[in-house]
Structures are given as C-alpha cells and as structure tokens.
Structure 1
Amino acid sequence: MNDRELRADARRNREQVLRTAQQLFASRGLGISLDEIARRAGVGPGTVHRHFPTKEALYLAVAIDQIRQLVAEGEALTGTDDPAALFTLLSRMMASGAENAAVKSALTAAEFDLRNAAPDAAADLTHQVAHLLDRAHRAGVVRHDVTVDEVMAIVAGAFAAIRHADADTNRERSAHIAHIILDGLRLHPR
C-alpha cells in the first residue's frame, strides 16, 4: 500500500512517525527503539509496526522521504529565477546527507542501495539537479565541463568527506565542508 492509498489520518500518522524517526536517528542514533519513536510521535507502537514492520523498513522510508523532500525543494527552486539555485539545492542535499548519515550507513550495511530501492525518487532528484545545472550553465555560474552525473558523484563524495571529518553532527562544520566542495563547481574568472 502506498501513501496515496492510506486514509488521511493514517497518512498523517505515518508522516509524523517519519519526521520523528528522522529527528531521533539524527540526534540519538539508530539504537532508539521503535516503541520510543512511537511514543515521541504521539502514536501507538502498533501504528509504527503496522507501517514499518522492521527497523530497516523505517530506515529505508526515512531515506526515501528525505529524497522526496529534496525533490520538492528542487521543484520549488526551479520555479525561481535564481541562476545559482543549483548551489542551494546541492547545499541542502549535503546537509540532508550529513543529518542522515547514520541511516544511510545502516542501509549500506543492510545492502540497500537507494538508487535500486527507490529508483523513481532517485531519478526525480537527479532530474531536478540536471534542470538546475542546465540553468546554471546558461547563466555562467557553474563550470561548463561538469555533468549531472559528476555533480551527483560530488554530492556522494561530500557525504564521505563530511563523515570522514566527523562533521555529520556539526551543522556549521558540515556546511563549511560543503561550501569548500561546492566552490570547486563554481565558474571562476581567470
């Protein structure tokens, strides 16, 4: 059953569980129990277990939800006339990756690849990045030799850099690393 098939109250409960889980995973780690997530979300344990029968299912749902939120942010940025909106989206993607590093590590350990587990969401995000990259190319604010595949690889590399610097729980430090990385994409006058 997908989100659209859920009753409105069930959909709200599911969204509340996802938001709560994401916040708790980011702040307290993956050891938090499903029952504690339910309590903090203001729903019964059965509600959490009905939507997410395993913790891995919840990890995956949190990660997919984050991708969908980024897609929505990309769509909103597409509606602006900001030629550098690409950098806004990429910064947000890197921040999201840093905030959800534990979830992504757990998915990797469980041999989940988000591109395979949620191909539509991943493709939608890549499409948003491609659209904003094209606009940035036309405006001359990004290097002309960079492709969308390279940009997506750079974002994935940024997650590793942020994690390597132990900055995934320090927003200021992870934003600084992201800024350094993104600066390499900017077109600099010679």
Structure 2
Amino acid sequence: MNSQPPKRASAESPAAPSGDRTLRADARRNREQVLRTAQRLFATEGLGVSLDEIARRAGVGPGTVHRHFPSKEALYLAVATDEFEQLVVEAEELATTDDPAALFTQLSRMIATGAENVTVKSALEAAELDLRTAAPKVAADLTRHVADLLDRAHAAGAVRPDVTVDDVMALVAGAFSAIRHAGAETSPERSARIAQIILDGLRPRS
C-alpha cells in the first residue's frame, strides 16, 4: 500500500495556465485599448499628446502604457503596424468575395487609413523608421493580398493590363503625399476625392 499523500500538482496545475491566460488576455485588451486611443488622439489632436494623457483617455494606468510602449516612437510604430494588420484582415475578407473590383475597395481603404494617420507616418519618417523593415511580415502579407486582388482585377478586365503590384503600392504611397500636400488629412471627403482621381488612372482606357 502506498503511504505517500496524493499529489496535488495535477489538481492545481490547470489553475496556473488559466490564470496566465487571463492575465495575457487582460494585457492584450489593455494594449488594444491604448492603440485605439492613441490612433484617435494622434489623428485628432496631433503627436504632441503625452503618453500619460493617452493612458488617461484609454482608462489604464500610465505604467501600462510605458510598459508596452517605452517611447513615443515605439507607440507610433505599433499604431502603424496595427493599421497594416487591420488592412490585411480586410484584404482577406475581400478575397472571399467574387467582386472583380475588390482591388479598388482595398486600395481606397488603404489610402483612407493612411490619410487619417499621416502624422504618425511623418513621425516614423522623421525617426528614420521604415514599417517595411520594422514589420516585414505584415508589409509582405498586405502586398501579397493586394497582388492577389490585382490578379483577379486583371482577369476580369477591371484594371489596366500593364499595371503591376509595384505600381499599385507606389500609387498608394503617392496618394498619402498628395493628400498631405493638399492639407486634406482632416477632410475625408477631399482625401477620398484625391484618392478616386489617382485610382481612376488604374482603370482600363476606354
């Protein structure tokens, strides 16, 4: 007969991973809230808003923000990366549709997102931070999805046959510059009009 007491580890061990998962889930939610708040404040109030103010508006402690984002540059980069990730998700959703013009929907979304956060992109440029280098997988995923949508548009005759994915990505980047030059960052209507003029150049010649 075994006189040793029964082991308790098996009964207690599930609690620790569950607690860790809860902690990680809370941390993810806090980080997400900080990113969304920072994105909104940067777009509406500029880059001068402090990390402590972002924490207050996000409803978290200053330590939470500083723990995730030790500097303004780190937060700029995280905001921009998060935007790219959202665009990847949207591109994946468009890929499940049969719309041959889904390419134009995706490009419009990309330009609108960039226009709303052109100040963040300017800050990254000033800090000599390139999102394609800092987050290469996200940038590559987005380009790949755009290329797939472009192939579909080509097959349907919805886009000029000579357009390449490099052309498309260059035009999106150029749209950001055009919107910034026109001072249209805070005018969705005007930035959308500029984007439409640029994207019309991708359509087949009549």
| TM-score calculated relative to the size of structure 2 | 0.88
2:196 corresponding residue in structure 1: 179
3-state SS of 1:7 partner: helix
Q: Partners in 1 of 2:128 and 2:171 — Cα distance?
A: 22
Note if 1:63 corresponds to 2:80.
yes
Runs of 4 or more off by more than 3 Å in structure 1?
none
3-state SS of 1:112 partner: coil
Match of 1:28 among 28, 45, 54: 45
Note if 1:96 corresponds to 2:108.
no
Deviations 1:89-135 (A, max 9, x none): 00000001101100000000000011111100100000010000000
3-state SS of 1:143 partner: coil
Q: CA deviation at 1:63?
A: 0.2
Note if 1:14 corresponds to 2:34.
no
Q: How does 1:2-151 map to 2 (within 5 A)?
A: 7-151=24-168
1:158 corresponding residue in structure 2: 175
Note if 1:167 corresponds to 2:184.
yes
Superposition RMSD on alpha carbons, in Å?
Answer: 1.1
Q: Partners in 1 of 2:52 and 2:46 — Cα distance?
A: 15
AA matched with 1:136: A
AA matched with 2:145: Q
| TM-score calculated relative to the size of structure 1 | 0.96
Percentage identity across aligned positions? 77
Q: Partners in 1 of 2:133 and 2:92 — Cα distance?
A: 22
Q: CA deviation at 1:187?
A: 1.3
Q: Which runs of 5+ in 2 are unaligned?
A: 1-20
Q: CA deviation at 1:19?
A: 0.5
Q: Partners in 2 of 1:186 and 1:24 — Cα distance?
A: 36
Give the number of the structure whose alpha-carbon radius of gyration is greater: 2
Q: CA deviation at 1:69?
A: 0.4
Q: Partners in 2 of 1:168 and 1:155 — Cα distance?
A: 15
Q: CA deviation at 1:169?
A: 1.1
Q: Partners in 1 of 2:107 and 2:167 — Cα distance?
A: 12
Q: Partners in 1 of 2:186 and 2:73 — Cα distance?
A: 22
Q: CA deviation at 1:184?
A: 0.5
Q: Partners in 2 of 1:18 and 1:81 — Cα distance?
A: 33
Q: CA deviation at 1:162?
A: 0.6
Q: CA deviation at 1:188?
A: 3.2
Q: Which runs of 5+ in 1 are unaligned?
A: none
Q: Partners in 2 of 1:30 and 1:153 — Cα distance?
A: 26
